[in-house]
Amino acid sequence: MIKVTVLYPNSAGAKFDMQYYTSKHLPMVQRKCGPPCKSIAAEQGLGGGQPGSKPAYIALCHLTFDSVEAFQKAFGPHAAEIMADIPNYTNVQPVIQISEITL
């Protein structure tokens, strides 16, 4: 099982519409990827490690798939459309990490 994590770095001037992200963007991603996307979750950053500090990431998303190949096959054909929706909810360039779930 793999996890695709999409991280949105927090910086001065960063904007993020969590309502749009969770009600429109992520449902569209899940619809486009179909059954190979086993789960999807979103997080909104609240703070950093030090009390009162800002979160390193304004938002995160986690998608799980059986394999990297399953992710690429499900996401690839829709990548342009999914990526074109980013300006509708943020001005931040996302960072993507693919990880193997080990526990």
Instruction: Please write the tens of the pLDDT for every residue from 1-30.
Output: 999 999 999 999 999 999 999 999 999 999
CATH of the domain at 103: 3.30.70.100
Average pLDDT estimate for 40-52? 96
Number of structural domains, the chain?
A: 1
pLDDT at 96: 97
**Structural domain of residue 75, as residue ranges?**
1-36+71-103
10 in a structural domain = yes
pLDDT at 87: 98
Q: From CA 32, how far away is CA 47, in angstroms rounded?
A: 32
pLDDT at 66: 98
62 in a structural domain = no
51 in a structural domain = no
pLDDT per residue as tens digits for the range 51-101: 999 999 999 999 999 999 999 999 999 999 999 999 999 999 999 999 999
15 in a structural domain = yes
3 in a structural domain = yes
26 in a structural domain = yes
